[in-house]
Chains A and B, each alone.
Chain A
Amino acid sequence: MEDKITIENLNLYYSDFHALHDVNMHIQKNEITAFIGPSGCGKSTLLRCLNRMNDLVEGCRIEGSVKLDGTDIYGGDLDVTVLRQRVGMVFQRPNPFPMSVYDNVAYGPKIHGVTDKQELDEIVETSLKQAAIWDDLKDRLNKSALGLSGGQQQRLCIARALAVKPEVLLMDEPTSALDPISTSKIEELALQLKKDYTIVIVTHNMQQAVRISDKTGFFLLGDLVEFGETDQLFSMPKDERTERYITGRFG
């Protein structure tokens, strides 16, 4: 199968701090790839390399390469705004803009040049439907997004990301701030979306990785310790450190 994203010999430094060590990973199309590991091990850092969000961090330096469909995203052949449109992101805390539901979803298409009102209406509706929140929100499109519940806000943020028609969706612990019911809704959603998208999800919850992901990467102190089929990684880990972590015998 063809790689959607190829990470080769990736090293990342926050000023003097070496946060990722020689990471190599192949992320396949239409699969869910999960990153697990104790907090501070570099999961978010790697995720944010995939759409160059680390560009916003002062003193952040990257070596190695990340390829999207074979094009090096740090190589200068791909404009960063185009990259981020193709590789969307959902954050740990729901972060809808302080605007109406409609304007939140329409923001992305608008900045990418869609001006036709009818086309925007359609994009907003399909995106909200894809994020399985159209029925909840169709009567309050003009209400402020800040009045929604946490779970609704997060699905709105997913809809907002989908509205620019990305190919890859990055999710950084998207359910860590949500209740169990909202969490399972987002998980179902991820499983549905993988038909059309490639998903990379960071999770602090190993059960979540087992439930939804095809591949899992286990990180420790900036190293990718083990990467493989989720079933295999959780049932027969190759590395002793992985085994200790998934059986909960980790310091």
Chain B
Amino acid sequence: MDKVVQKAIASDKRWRAVYIACGLLIVALTLLMGAFLLYQGSQTFIKAHHSIWEFLFTSDWAPLDKTGLFGGKVGAAVYIVGSLETCLLALIICLPFAIGSAVYMTEISPKIGEKYFRPATEIYVSIPSVVYGWFGMTKLVPLIKNIFHPAMGGYSVLAASIVLAIMIFPTITTVSADAIKSVPMSYREGAYGLGATRWQVIGKVVLPAASGGILTGIILGLARAIGEALAVSMVIGKTRSFASNLLSPTSNLTSAIAADMGNTAQGGEYNLALWTMALLLFIISIVLIVLIHKLANGKKDK
């Protein structure tokens, strides 16, 4: 008997060591990647002597593409603005639908919601982004072209934003639905007991009480949108100029990195500038993730 227990403890300990090792490995890999990005991404400023101001706030993009040769222009504002505007617009398009759906599947018709709606939304998460991009390119772009007849065809900020909106919809919807579901029943009863209608209960008690969780969903969605490359690059038009309106094409950080990273000379100014763009994306993601944790902890403090 004793031996069995000892054996169990020993194997327990061995497994624990394995788990800890795996955990440490992941932490180490993440840190290593961060450090590598930080090193590579900062070379634009250190080795090539460009200013952070130039990179972030000017739009002259003419980096030299030869190893060790510096002196071009690395203003990435077009890409940065392209990323921000498509993400924000995607959020604005997506939010009413996502919150409406979350309310529907929790408050209005929980049975249908749980049985059909949630599984359906979860399937959307697992569809590869090339499918979204392909749908955007073959259906959405022609549609925009036929409706608005923009000078440059249908490839546009609008097309990219709609594709992104569709891609982040399931994330925001499911996270919001969970947040709404976790609002205590007693709040709803309290409001109904005062003579509130269903919409007054939802709008003035349930949604405010769930707002922390909904915000988490929004940030998760934004993190997904800001990092999405393939689907966006298929419909945004990839022209290196600011979009003058929603129907004009532009480019963004991920499209530029994905398109050019493989073709640039190692250690050249162009290559380094792309690394800096990758670093910027990394920083944005980290900021968003820190925000999520802040929100989650803030809720616990209450």
Contact = CB atoms under 8 A, between A and B. Distances in A.
A37 interface: no
A88 B209 contact: no
A21 B205 CA distance: 35
Contact of A84 (B193, B205, B208, B209): B193
A111 B195 CA distance: 8
Contact of A161 (B186, B189, B194, B200): B194
Given A111-B204, A144-B302, A91 B193 contact: yes
A82 B195 contact: yes
Contact of A88 (B187, B188, B193, B197): B193
B209 A97 contact: yes
Contacts of A81: 195-197
A51 interface: yes
Contacts of B186: 91, 93, 95
B106 to A, nearest CB: 15
A53 B194 contact: no
Given A97-B205, A97-B209, A51 B193 contact: yes
Interface in A194-247: none
Nearest to B190: A95
Given A81-B196, A108-B195, A112-B195, 6 more contacts: A84-B194, A97-B205, A98-B302, A99-B208, A111-B194, A111-B195
B189 A56 contact: yes
A107 B195 contact: no
B302 A85 contact: no
- By Cβ-Cβ distance, the 9 closest A-B pairs, closest first, are A85-B195, A95-B186, A89-B193, A84-B195, A108-B194, A81-B195, A95-B190, A111-B200, A111-B196
A56 B187 CA distance: 13
Majority-rule SS of B interface residues? helix
B208 to A, nearest CB: 7
Contact of B193 (A53, A82, A146): A53
B191 interface: yes
Contacts of A128: none
B57 interface: no
Contacts of B197: 81, 111
A9 to B, nearest CB: 26
Interface string B195-212: 111001000110011000
B197 to A, nearest CB: 6
B192 interface: yes
16 contacts: A51-B193, A80-B195, A89-B189, A95-B184, A97-B187, A97-B205, A98-B208, A98-B209, A107-B204, A107-B205, A111-B204, A112-B195, A144-B302, A146-B302, A160-B194, A164-B194
A21 B188 CA distance: 28
Given A81-B195, A98-B302, A144-B302, A91 B187 contact: no
Contacts of A56: 188-189, 192
A157 interface: yes
Interface residues of B, number: 19
Given A144-B302, A146-B302, A161 B204 contact: no
A126 to B, nearest CB: 16
A164 B200 CA distance: 15
B192 A85 contact: no
A53 B189 CA distance: 8
A230 to B, nearest CB: 26
A80 B201 CA distance: 14
A88 B302 contact: no
Contacts of A111: 191, 194-197, 200, 204
Interface in A102-128: 107-108, 110-112
A158 to B, nearest CB: 12
Nearest to A95: B186
Contacts of B188: 56
B114 to A, nearest CB: 14
Nearest to B110: A58
Highest count of chain A CB atoms <10 Å: which of B184, B186, B194: B194
B190 A157 contact: yes
Contact of B189 (A83, A95, A98, A112): A95
A95 B187 contact: yes
Interface string B4-25: 0000000000000000000000
A96 B187 CA distance: 7
A89 B194 CA distance: 7
A164 B194 CA distance: 7
Given A99-B208, A111-B200, A111-B204, A164 B195 contact: yes
